[in-house]
Amino acid sequence: MTATAVSMPNSALPAFPNLSPASSSEAPPRSDLLTLVDRIRHAAANEHNASPDSHSQLLTLIDELKLAVETPNETVLRLIYQPPQNAALRTVMDMGICPLLVQHAHRGLSASELASHTGAERALIVRLMRVMVALGLCDNPSTEVYLPNSKTLALTQPIGRDGVPCIYDLTLPTLSKLPDYFRDHQYVMPREYKSCPMQWAVGQSQFEWLAQRKLSQTRFNSYMASRRQGKPAWFDTFPVERLSRTAVTRDDAVFLVDVGGNQGHDLVRFRKRFPSVAGRVVLQDLPKVLASAPASSLKEDGVETMGYSFFDPQPVKGARIYYFRAIFHDWPDDICRQILANTVSAMDAEYSRIVIVDFVLPDTHAPLLQSSLDIQMMSIGAGAERSESQWKELLGSAGLEIRSVWRNGPGMESVMEVAVR
Ligand SMILES: C[S@@+](CC[C@H](N)C(=O)[O-])C[C@H]1O[C@@H](n2cnc3c(N)ncnc32)[C@H](O)[C@@H]1O
């Protein structure tokens, strides 16, 4: 297939009254804007006691308003200039500017002071910081003076400090070549982990790449542990008591296994919330990943650790729950089936459940975060975010069925209870 850039001739446009050439730079009707503003006002009034749902609804409305206010040309320009923003942010993170600003929060720092702290050229700092200020990531009270705000602080916490460089370094080299990959592959979706776009672009897929880069792996682990802080946990929607009431209470019985649980952050939250649920709680991940988990504090929190690859049969037999969060979206269907088969081999068909926490894409209007992650997962491991029918098909092909789905807001994964069919 050859692809050529096609631009719509003006003669093709008049059939669509709202698509005249002039409409690219026209402002939207005022009445539409005011209706949206009213809806935002209403949603904002509830924001102080917001549920995660109403918070994300407010954000969605604000996005809608921005789109409605922007002319189409402004929208296109905003999109065109996203890459330099990410590159500037990544550079600022390398220079350690955010922690410096937070340390000097009372009066901020000038570009010259930042230059003497970092060794970077003042004029470069000024150019990078223009982008930071325009993105709202710090304040700029006077010429070449920068003050931290709450977003600067977030960039010094694990979610920003580790998440920004980790995800940039892991994904950008591949994403920048994604159009070339698809041109080269006749626009066919990648279906194999070992020949995903990242393999094609940089010679490795995500987990091998991370395993060979200690700093990136450490950042990845830290980011995994931090990225959902302050958000509801899976057990805030999933009825844990229903399964714990009828759980086996023998000393060696396992209640919950977190498969691919990284540093054990989810299990620590679980133990704190349900200290008296009977049964062992086991964290599994690759031995190399568990080597950096806080083993002694996990033990104090009642969490056992077990090095395990989910490409081997599950060694913990007959647990009440095998819990997988953000695991299946990393992998294509055939590998998900292997992981599921290895789990099913350990399940008690009547008693055990699999709990999957991952996005369940809606059939229309998938949120931007979910759609973007889908492209990222496809690129770095031929993984995918899945719709409910795709989940049903995948799980059905492994002899499993979905018993219930608890859907959360657009920024949040859904929770699925899965049993042997
Ligand atoms: C996207 S992270 C999710 C981590 C955690 N469940 C969470 O939601 O924060 C994927 C996890 O799968 C783990 N993983 C990758 N390959 C694995 C394998 N073969 N066996 C077990 N875990 C693996 C990674 O080390 C990583 O911790």
Query: Does residue 213 share a domain with residue 183?
Result: yes
Q: Does a structural domain hold residue 405?
A: yes
Backbone angles phi, psi at 325, to 5 degrees: -115, 130
User: From the CA of 165, how far away is ligand 1's center (Å)?
Assistant: 19
Residue 384 token pair: 């995918």
Among residues 8, 6, 32, 30, the alpha carbon closest in space to that of 21 is found at 8
Query: Does residue 306 share a domain with residue 244?
Result: yes
- Indicate which atom in ligand 1 lies nearest the CA of residue 225: 9
Query: Ligand 1 pocket check: which of 224, 328, 359 to mutate, most ligand atoms within 8 Å of Cβ?
Result: 224
Helices 111-118 and 122-134 sit at what angle, rounded to 10 degrees?
A: 120
Task: Answer with the one of 156, 173, 208 that is the final residue of a domain.
Answer: 156
User: From the CA of 313, how far away is ligand 1's center (Å)?
Assistant: 16
Query: Does residue 375 share a domain with residue 285?
Result: yes
In the chain, which stretches have pLDDT less than 50?
1-3, 17
Query: Does residue 381 share a domain with residue 307?
Result: yes
Query: Does residue 141 share a domain with residue 256?
Result: no
CATH of the domain at 101: 1.10.10.10
User: From the CA of 402, how far away is ligand 1's center (Å)?
Assistant: 22
User: From the CA of 205, how far away is ligand 1's center (Å)?
Assistant: 14
322 strand-pairing partners: 257, 354
Q: Does a structural domain hold residue 2?
A: no
User: From the CA of 221, how far away is ligand 1's center (Å)?
Assistant: 9
Residues 165-220: pLDDT tens digits? 999 999 999 999 999 999 999 999 999 999 999 999 999 999 999 999 999 999 99
Judged by DSSP in three states, 120 sits in coil
> What residues are in contact with ligand 1 under a 6 Å CB criterion?
207, 224, 260-262, 285-286, 289, 309-311, 325-327, 330
d(CA 40, CA 27) in angstroms, rounded, equals 20
> Which residue, by CA, sits nearest to atom 20 of ligand 1?
309
Cβ-contact 226, 159 below 8 angstroms: yes
Q: Does a structural domain hold residue 6?
A: no
Domain that holds residue 115: 82-156
Among residues 319, 313, 393, 382, the alpha carbon closest in space to that of 352 is found at 319
User: From the CA of 82, how far away is ligand 1's center (Å)?
Assistant: 29
Q: Does a structural domain hold residue 120?
A: yes
Q: Does a structural domain hold residue 10?
A: no
- Indicate which atom in ligand 1 lies nearest the CA of residue 311: 19
> Which residue, by CA, sits nearest to atom 1 of ligand 1?
326
110 strand-pairing partners: 145
Cβ-contact 156, 184 below 8 angstroms: no
Q: Does a structural domain hold residue 12?
A: no
Q: How far is CA 418 from CA 313, 324, 398, in A?
A: 18, 11, 11
- Indicate which atom in ligand 1 lies nearest the CA of residue 329: 1
Q: Does a structural domain hold residue 176?
A: yes
Q: Tell me how many degrees the CA angle 133-136-141 measures, rounded to the nearest 5.
A: 50
Number of helices (H), then strands (E), in the chain = 21, 12
Task: Answer with the one of 35, 53, 80 that is the final residue of a domain.
Answer: 80
Q: Does a structural domain hold residue 13?
A: no
Query: Does residue 264 share a domain with residue 397?
Result: yes
Per the structure, the count of domains in the chain is 4
> Which residue, by CA, sits nearest to atom 5 of ligand 1?
261
- Largest alpha-carbon pair distance within the chain? 77
Cβ-contact 282, 246 below 8 angstroms: no
Other C-beta atoms lying within 10 Å of the C-beta of residue 149: 16
d(CA 354, CA 29) in angstroms, rounded, equals 50
Task: Answer with the one of 49, 80, 111 that is the final residue of a domain.
Answer: 80
Query: Does residue 247 share a domain with residue 347?
Result: yes
Query: Does residue 312 share a domain with residue 273?
Result: yes
> Which residue, by CA, sits nearest to atom 19 of ligand 1?
309
Cβ-contact 421, 401 below 8 angstroms: yes
Query: Does residue 152 share a domain with residue 207?
Result: no
User: Cα-Cα-Cα-Cα dihedral of 335, 337, 338, 341, to 10°?
Assistant: 170
Query: Does residue 34 share a domain with residue 116?
Result: no
Query: Does residue 263 share a domain with residue 327?
Result: yes
User: From the CA of 32, how far away is ligand 1's center (Å)?
Assistant: 45
Left if phi > 0, otherwise alpha if psi is -120 to 50, otherwise beta: which for 110?
A: beta
Q: Which residues contact 304 (CB under 8 A, 6 or more apart)?
A: 280, 281, 282, 283, 298
Q: What is the pLDDT of residue 151?
A: 98
Query: Does residue 318 share a domain with residue 177?
Result: no
CATH of the domain at 293: 3.40.50.150
Query: Ligand 1 pocket check: which of 193, 207, 355 to mutate, most ligand atoms within 8 Å of Cβ?
Result: 207
Q: In 213-357, which residue ranges form alpha helices assigned H by DSSP?
A: 214-226, 240-245, 265-273, 287-290, 295-300, 333-344
d(CA 336, CA 358) in angstroms, rounded, equals 13
